[in-house]
Amino acid sequence: MSGPTLSDVAEAAGVSYATADRVINKRGNVAQKSIDKVRDAVERLGYVRNVAAANLSRRRVYRLAFLIPTGSNAFFSRVRDHIIQSADHLSADSISVRIVDVSAFSVEGLKDSIVDLAGSELDGVAIVGLQSRLLEQPLAELRARGVAVIGLVSDLPVEFRSAYIGIDNKVAGRTAARMTGLAHRGRAGAIQTFVGSMEARDHAERLQGFRDVIAADFPDLTVLDPILTKDDPAVLCKSAANALQSGASVTAFYNVGAGNVGLIEAISTSPGARPFCVVHELVAHSKQALIDNHIDLVIDQRPDVEVNRAFALLRALIDDRELPPMPDLMPTIYVRDNLPADTLNDAMEVQIR
């Protein structure tokens, strides 16, 4: 037996079919009294809106944007590639996608990009976020225009987005700390950490999780103050080389961000025993560094899954449907012994800028 139709709702509410349609599909220009009648009829009848039919009748096109940092970060190259591949695959479902380039770690640049979006015809946007009050007003204005907003990989101020898609970065940092602590086998040591920017919530949370575990469970280890790198490989290379040559007895490196090409270069060209080394994201150069025994551990957040979830979540928000169930996204730990046969970036040359 089929469920109640929109005609049934209109009849039960005592309004025209057109009025019921406008209320159900949120097209506006309906008196509050009629809205209340339609909503009451929907509840009494148990009417379920047919999103697919509504979209077909309106020739709905989902207009989406992804705000992604620019630069030589190979991880975000993976993200961009998967957005493009997914957009091509989803084009048959009337999904239009554009990628907006944003300067990495620039609050002002991100704010300006969000302001620019407010003047565009958009339904939803996924943003690799930063933490700053400067973003709050433009985000609020964007949402006031009916645009669905989600944080991707690195979160936005939580009150100004509808959802966040990414790993639990504190868990990722705690995992890195646990493995680093175990590698020391009870010996004392000093861990040099590297951070792209403390305004990037994922970086700050990873570092906090790392510090928490070392302080609680490995009191013989010292976490040195982080070196800020802006994920620049050249900065990371110079900083790591200085740490190796300083005689400070650095026993481990942990880079919470990107720029690992520089870190790998410093380690591979330094004489003597190298520190234990943990980095994030399995890309071509980090995979090769594992194979070459220049680093020990890669924590990967599976950007292909994150992008797929972003598309699904934005569509649900735009259609005013319940959000799809999404279990926690757990990072994958890679060592030399469990590398996948192929990686998205293996066929690509990584450009170092």
Which of the 8 DSSP states describes residue 167? -
Across the range 215-244, mean pLDDT stands at: 96
The answer to whether 301 and 153 are in contact (CB under 8 A) is yes
Higher pLDDT, 351 or 268: 268
CATH number of the CATH domain containing 10: 1.10.260.40
Rama region for 65: left / alpha / beta (φ>0; ψ in -120 to 50; rest): beta
Nearest residue to 179 (alpha-carbon basis) of 284, 295, 285, 270? 295
| pLDDT value of residue 345 | 43
d(CA 276, CA 185): 12
For 165, other C-beta atoms within 10 Å of its C-beta total 21
- CB proximity list for 258: less than 8 A, separation 6 or greater: 73, 74, 75, 76, 196, 231, 280, 281
Higher pLDDT, 27 or 164: 164
Confirm whether 54 is domain-assigned. no
Residues 107 and 255 occupy one common structural domain: no
Residues 180 and 251 occupy one common structural domain: yes
Note the pLDDT tens digit of each residue in 77-92.
999 999 999 998 888 7
- Sorting pLDDT into bands at 50, 70 and 90, what band is 347? very low
Residues 288 and 318 occupy one common structural domain: no
- CB proximity list for 77: less than 8 A, separation 6 or greater: 283, 345, 348
- Sorting pLDDT into bands at 50, 70 and 90, what band is 351? very low
Confirm whether 345 is domain-assigned. no
| pLDDT value of residue 28 | 66
Confirm whether 206 is domain-assigned. yes
Across the range 240-249, mean pLDDT stands at: 84
User: Rounded mean pLDDT of the chain?
Assistant: 89
Q: Is the pLDDT of residue 146 over 90?
A: no
- CA–CA distance from 67 to each of 99, 111, 112, 134, 257 (Å)? 6, 11, 11, 17, 18
| pLDDT value of residue 54 | 57
- Claim: this prediction has a pTM higher than 0.85: no
Higher pLDDT, 201 or 3: 201
Residues 160 and 307 occupy one common structural domain: yes
CATH number of the CATH domain containing 121: 3.40.50.2300
| pLDDT value of residue 272 | 80
Residues 96 and 243 occupy one common structural domain: no
Residues 216 and 296 occupy one common structural domain: yes
Q: What's the structural domain count of the chain?
A: 3
Q: Is the pLDDT of residue 74 over 80?
A: yes
Residues 117 and 238 occupy one common structural domain: no
Residues 161 and 184 occupy one common structural domain: no
Q: Is the pLDDT of residue 283 over 60?
A: yes
Residues 318 and 244 occupy one common structural domain: no
Note the pLDDT tens digit of each residue in 29-52.
788 988 999 889 888 888 877 655
Q: Is the pLDDT of residue 3 over 90?
A: no
| pLDDT value of residue 196 | 95
- Sorting pLDDT into bands at 50, 70 and 90, what band is 344? very low
Note the pLDDT tens digit of each residue in 214-229.
999 999 999 999 999 9
Q: Is the pLDDT of residue 294 over 90?
A: yes
- Structural domain boundaries, residue 78: 59-165+303-322
Note the pLDDT tens digit of each residue in 191-203.
999 999 999 999 9
d(CA 266, CA 271): 10
Confirm whether 41 is domain-assigned. yes
Confirm whether 42 is domain-assigned. yes
For 36, other C-beta atoms within 10 Å of its C-beta total 12
* Phi, then psi, of 327 in degrees rounded to 5: -65, 160
Nearest residue to 236 (alpha-carbon basis) of 211, 190, 267? 267
Confirm whether 158 is domain-assigned. yes
Q: Which residue, of 268, 300, 332, is where some domain finishes? A: 300
Nearest residue to 13 (alpha-carbon basis) of 45, 38, 49, 31? 38
The answer to whether 126 and 97 are in contact (CB under 8 A) is no
Residues 246 and 316 occupy one common structural domain: no
Reduce the DSSP state of residue 18 to 3 states and report it: helix
| pLDDT value of residue 24 | 78
Percent of the chain with pLDDT over 90: 68
Residues 292 and 307 occupy one common structural domain: no
Residues 39 and 66 occupy one common structural domain: no
| pLDDT value of residue 56 | 46
| pLDDT value of residue 348 | 38
